[in-house]
A = this chain, B = another copy of it.
Amino acid sequence: MKALHKLYKRIIQRVNINLREFNFDVEPFLKNLVPFDQLVKVHGFYAVTIQHPLDFQFRHSNLAGSYLLGKCFTTNSILYRSDIRGDELKKKGTIFHSGKYQIPIARDEAIRIENSFLIKTLVHNHSHDPETPENFVISNTVSTHYANIHGSPTDGSFLGPLATLDLSTVNDCIIGAFSYIQAGEINHFHIEPGTVWVRSPGDFNFLYRYPSRFLNRYVKFRPDCQPEGILIDFVDKYKDAFEQIFGTVNVESSINVPATASLDRFAVVQPKTSIGDNVLVAQRSFLQNSHLGRGANAQENCFIINSFLKGFNVTAHGAKLINVDLGTMVFVGFNSFLRGKGCRLEIGKDCVVMPHTIIDIREPLQIPPACLVWGSITCQADLEINSIPLNILEKLEDGFSRNNLVFEGSGKKFVSSFQNRIHHILEANGAFYNGKDRKGHAQNNQNISFNIIQPYSEGDKKGVYPTILIQP
């Protein structure tokens, strides 16, 4: 395993060099996280489909347990149980619209991962950065458990567990555990854990930070330790169910799936689950005893348990619903944790649950329709502080602040920006398919083969995959 250890050391050094101004050393964070044995044993797989440009180039990397779709190049990297989804890559000859620019795409966009170590990280390529439309780059970066690198080119950075980068461009930054960043381009920032930051320069700035005592119960990440907390324990409980799904070459669906819907073969579906028309259930999602109404979606790494989704719902990457009822058009953002413990949580239609919201209740709670909800909520009193009706927010032109939240700029622009995005997500996922037009992922994702790849199993190169090039 000499080559694999050398590769691991090299990645650490490269990240440390990029973060040298913070005097930050990633090694203590990584050293107990790397299951070298698993890196050798667990196979990786890549998708073969006519829907996406087939072009994979794997060089001197380990891809254990990872899922690769679209055009993707890895060099000197370790992707451990990561999910690299390249199904919205820009195509040569098309025009990419960004602000006032119409940008002709000069060659098919590719995901390029180099000198990076991604652990259980979800990468989704839909970058809005107009500066590098043909390259979606992740380089010199370490990203840990259940982090999301979502449409965010990233260089020289460290992401704590359950951190999310969303539609940002990130250079030389440390992103604390459970922080959500949607802030355009950021350089040389050290973001504290539990920061929820949504910024559109000139328009608005939403900045919330979790109280650290509260956050530490849910997720905590210290050097020389594994990630800890309720969110980590929760996910660990379901590990075995996924092991089964990933250990089998082909699996048949256990439930009835409408012709207009898509249930990924790497999703776990447990009894008494039903899905409606135009539903999209992505790989690595977990459904149990729940109903997903027409046009609802369950994105990667989400959990939907004992819940009822009325329809046109977005359950974003890593969101968790336990004993929850969602009205129509409710959006639940990335990594949010919504749990009724022995009781029901009801969320009225058109609500926007901000990314990285934790609602964890022991008494029933109802959230009225069309509210924005954020931060930590454990009871009715918390809800009153950490929510605002959208129609009131829309009228605020000079911002407001509440406890750990500061909001600056135009409420109207903030609300419409969210609503546009939710609409875009539903549209892209095929929620509005009418049998003829408005097809999306739910209708297109149906025919994919997965090829299985493994590394050298002995010798110096043990754990390193051979160079593999796959083209149409």
Residues of A with Cβ closer than 8 Å to B?
Answer: 10, 13-14, 16-18, 20, 76, 98-99, 101, 103-104, 106, 115, 130-131, 140, 155-156, 171-172, 187
Contact = CB atoms under 8 A, between A and B. Distances in A.
A106 B61 CA distance: 13
Most buried by B among A16, A106, A171: A106
A101 B17 contact: yes
Q: Which 7 pairs, one residue from A and one from B, show the smallest C-beta to C-beta distance?
A: A17-B130, A18-B131, A187-B187, A17-B101, A76-B106, A17-B131, A131-B156
Query: Chain A's interface: helix, strand, loop or mixed, by majority?
Result: mixed
A215 B226 CA distance: 60
A381 to B, nearest CB: 43
14 contacts: A10-B104, A13-B101, A13-B103, A14-B131, A17-B98, A18-B131, A20-B99, A20-B101, A20-B130, A131-B140, A131-B155, A131-B156, A131-B172, A187-B187
A99 B101 CA distance: 41
Given A13-B103, A106-B115, 14 more contacts: A10-B104, A13-B101, A14-B131, A16-B101, A17-B98, A17-B101, A17-B130, A17-B131, A20-B99, A20-B101, A20-B130, A76-B106, A131-B156, A131-B172
Contacts of A13: 101, 103
Contact of A106 (B10, B16, B20): B10
A94 to B, nearest CB: 14
A99 B17 CA distance: 10
Nearest to A131: B18
A232 B18 CA distance: 39
